Chain A
Amino acid sequence: MNMNLTMKAQSSLKKKFLGFIKEYMILVAIVILALVTAIAEPRFLSLENMTNIMRQFGPLIMVSLGMTFVIIGGFIDLSVTGIVSLVAVVTLSLIEPLGQIPALLIGLALGAICGLLTSTIIISCGALTQAEALFITFGMSTVYGAIALIYTGGETNHLSWVTRDTSLFKAIGQGNVGFISVSFLIFLVVLAILWVFQNKTYMGRAISLTGGNKTAAWLTGININRCIRTIYVICGFMTALGAIVLFSRVTTASPVLGKGYETNAILSVVVGGTSLAGGKGSVLRTVLGVLLVTLLSNCLNMLEVSAYMQVVLRGAILIAAIWLDSTRHR
């Protein structure tokens, strides 16, 4: 009798373990990837490389965290490309006349305003599907990108050309606390805030509900428009933060800086396991997704795989992840 019970417990434990593996396939993928690279190239485990990975991690994770909310809410945001470029060029150009702290704040506000504008357009025409949002945000991305190009005349600005104090941006881009980079610390703080927002506040839960079923959410008395506005403002703000981390790291701000960020952010969110159907997902999953994408590019660089091959692999992983996702839900 007793033995029977233990066996039962064991089998349920096994089931749980398998379920965990299935649920967190990505974690397994990350571990395998790290192991293989570490064996093939021991330099991978050096402290220097770890700091390097943390730096590469910075910009994409910010944009992806914002994108997570948009996708959980059942929408999509391609305008991050334009917002990254616009915020980067505007912020950098404002350091000279206004000083670094006002420039930083204006940059962040600009991102949020862009998000607000996008959401206003979406709400005013009553777009409720992902496809409608896809095309509207693509148009907005073109608009923001064009404004960035017009603003700079197509030229690239360098952080080192600024004559005033830029210590703040230097710290974000290159600073370390111990062996942890400053951008990583910012990420930890932001992640904590967003996690609490998603799981412990009314708005966070309302967003999940809206993404799951808009009609049901509306009938429960949730203000859907407010949810849409919130997710796009969060996404805009986080994208602005990502833009600032990015141009601080590369020390230049070109008006096409954000190219490719929309695909990479969506890729990271989806690979992390947040469902594109909306309603399901978490910021923590996105962290895993970005970790995989960043590690992958770091590992492939270490193994001296060409940059183009990496693009191929990224596309293949995106397809595989969605495929797996669809088999899991069947």
Chain B
Amino acid sequence: MIKSVVSIITKQKAFLAVVVMFIIMLFFPTNFYTQYNLLDMLNSASILMIIAFGVTFTLIGGACDLSVGGNMVLAGIIVVKLLEHLPIWASILIAVALGGIIGLVNGYLSVYHKTEPFIITLGMGTLLTGIAQQITDAHPVPCRNMAFMRIANSQILNVVPTLVVIMLAVLLFTYWLLRFTQFGRNLYAVGGDYEVAKYSGINVRRTKAIAFVLSGIFAALGGILLASKLNTGASTYGDTTALEVNCGVVVGGTSFAGGIGGIPQSAIGMLVFAVLENAMNMLNIDAYVQMLFKGIVIVAIIWLDCYTRKRKREAV
């Protein structure tokens, strides 16, 4: 009984971390436990969560995507620039399609040419950030379209932020895609053992490439929502986004070895950082100290993850 409880806890480290933070906040007289704050916390985490859901596909497929930062800022800038000439739906569609194409290029290079995905996507991220800076001259581009701004800055029924609703919709969709479709099951097989999946007749290359396309699409969607939320497109936000998102997904329990993990885990992984940041803001902790804590949390959780795998390896 105790053993099984312990094993459940060690499996859900990220969830445990969230619970611990919630308990700690009970002892401090702050506005943490207000409806407004909790919703705001979810609201500000939503964009990164949407990107994380996309990245989860690549990680489950046994790769990773470090180009999401560049993809995100580029999509934001493109949509803001397009809005001056096109209706909202067309601009969003074009920006999302562009994200998908970038994902396709990532997938083509890393799957069909067997290159190391993380370095290819790192290069792609650099390239995209460069393009974003080039077309904006590294200045933020203001958006004058009020309807576009309202997408991410409104509430449904005057309570729930639209962004959270969009995030939940993406969560459900991606969860369905991974759990209840052939593609999802194939992806787990490909990530678990590439060769076995290949010999079982799965089109391994296509499955893995689709994972990259999905990652690109959701990164672009995140970028569009960010541009809507801030009402600007800027090339300076995406510097560490890619690593943070990938880290968040791994922290949630999706293994970088591939084949293990899922969308809810990624949501919890990203929630760790959101709750941590919010709690530290509530406690008036200095921004630099916050950064230190964030780094320590990343190292600690990944350390635990590797350590449990090492124990398992040695037990065999």
Q: Which A residues lie at the B interface, using CB under 8 A?
A: 78, 121, 124-127, 129-132, 134-136, 138-147, 149-150, 153-154, 259, 263, 266-267, 270, 276-277, 306, 308-316, 318-319, 322-323, 325-327, 330
Contact B302 A139 (CB under 8 A): yes
Inter-chain contact count A-B, CB under 8 Å? 148
Q: Is chain B's binding surface mostly helix, strand, loop or mixed?
A: helix
Of B35-43, B201-209, B307-315, the one touching chain A: B307-315
**Pick from A126, A134, A140, A154: contact of B313, CB under 8 Å:** A126
Contact B134 A149 (CB under 8 A): no
Taking the closest CB of chain B, its distance from the CB of A230, in whole angstroms, is 20
Given A129-B257, A154-B288 in contact, is the A136-B303 Cβ separation under 8 Å? Answer: yes
Contact B303 A124 (CB under 8 A): yes
Which 4 A-B pairs have CB atoms at the shortest separation, nearest pair first? Answer: A315-B127, A311-B130, A126-B310, A142-B295
| Residues in chain B near residue A139, CB distance under 8 A | 247, 295-299, 302
Give Cα A294–Cα B138 distance, bound, in whole angstroms: 22
Contact B299 A312 (CB under 8 A): no
Taking the closest CB of chain A, its distance from the CB of B280, in whole angstroms, is 12
Q: Is chain A's binding surface mostly helix, strand, loop or mixed?
A: helix
Given A126-B307, A129-B257 in contact, is the A319-B298 Cβ separation under 8 Å? Answer: no
Contact B298 A142 (CB under 8 A): yes
A-B contact pairs, 12 of them (CB 8 A): A126-B309, A131-B257, A134-B118, A135-B298, A138-B243, A143-B296, A308-B130, A310-B130, A312-B127, A316-B123, A316-B127, A322-B123
Give Cα A125–Cα B310 distance, bound, in whole angstroms: 7
Chain A, Cβ-Cβ closest to B239 = A259
Of B79-87, B107-115, B184-192, B223-231, the one touching chain A: B107-115
- Tell which of B133, B292, B299, B313 has the most Cβ of chain A within 10 Å: B299
Size class of the contact patch on chain B: 35 or more
Give Cα A143–Cα B302 distance, bound, in whole angstroms: 14
Taking the closest CB of chain B, its distance from the CB of A305, in whole angstroms, is 10
- Tell which of A129, A143, A259 has the most Cβ of chain B within 10 Å: A143
| Residues in chain B near residue A145, CB distance under 8 A | 291, 295
Chain B, Cβ-Cβ closest to A316 = B127
| Residues in chain A near residue B162, CB distance under 8 A | none
A150-B286, A308-B138 given; 13 more Cβ-contact pairs under 8 Å: A131-B256, A131-B257, A135-B247, A135-B302, A145-B291, A146-B288, A311-B134, A312-B131, A313-B130, A315-B125, A318-B126, A319-B109, A322-B119
| Residues in chain A near residue B134, CB distance under 8 A | 306, 308-309, 311-312
Give Cα A288–Cα B123 distance, bound, in whole angstroms: 19
| Residues in chain B near residue A142, CB distance under 8 A | 291-292, 294-295, 298
Contact A314 B126 (CB under 8 A): yes
**Pick from B114, B123, B299: contact of A121, CB under 8 Å:** B299
Give the residues from 22 to 76 in chain B that come closer than 8 angstroms, CB to CB, to chain A.
64
Chain A, Cβ-Cβ closest to B301 = A139
| Residues in chain A near residue B130, CB distance under 8 A | 308-315
**Pick from A126, A144, A150: contact of B306, CB under 8 Å:** A126
Contact B119 A266 (CB under 8 A): yes
